[in-house]
Amino acid sequence: MLNKKFKEVIKNLEENLENKKDLDYAKLQITELTMEYLDELEKMEALYKQKVNLCEQRLDGLEVAMQKLDNEIFQEEEDTDLEPIKCPYCNTNFFIEFDNSKKEIKCPDCKNAIELDWGNFEDDM
């Protein structure tokens, strides 16, 4: 489209300028202006492509981070039941797997033995 308009302008100059020197000067000026314009468009296009590439890289990074976060938050929980324990000696809170066969455990901090009484948790519900 630009090429068509350029040719149209040159044709109008040729039809309306009788002096060959003026016509050549006008054609030269329009050609230089057009070339400068096209150079600027190429620079803008290159900058635009760089920005698009940067945005795509950032988006890819965000997608990876979101997938990791999604996996951390919504990963299927294992079938193990964890029970909260509070050490009566040092008040450390921690979790252990529910296991009726365990009668005592050691506190991970103070190393004291803690007697486990699993009781009947169904009554609490």
Model confidence pLDDT, tens digit, residues 98-123: 877 888 899 999 999 998 877 665 54
Q: Is pTM beyond 0.75 here?
A: no
**E strand map for the chain:** 82-86, 93-97, 104-106, 113-115
Q: Locate the domains of the chain by residue range.
A: 2-74, 82-118
Strand 113-115, strand 104-106: pairing: antiparallel
Question: Token pair for residue 54?
Answer: 């940067």
Model confidence pLDDT, tens digit, residues 2-22: 789 888 998 999 998 889 999
In percent, how much of the chain has pLDDT > 90? 52
Neighbours of 74 (CB within 10 A): 8
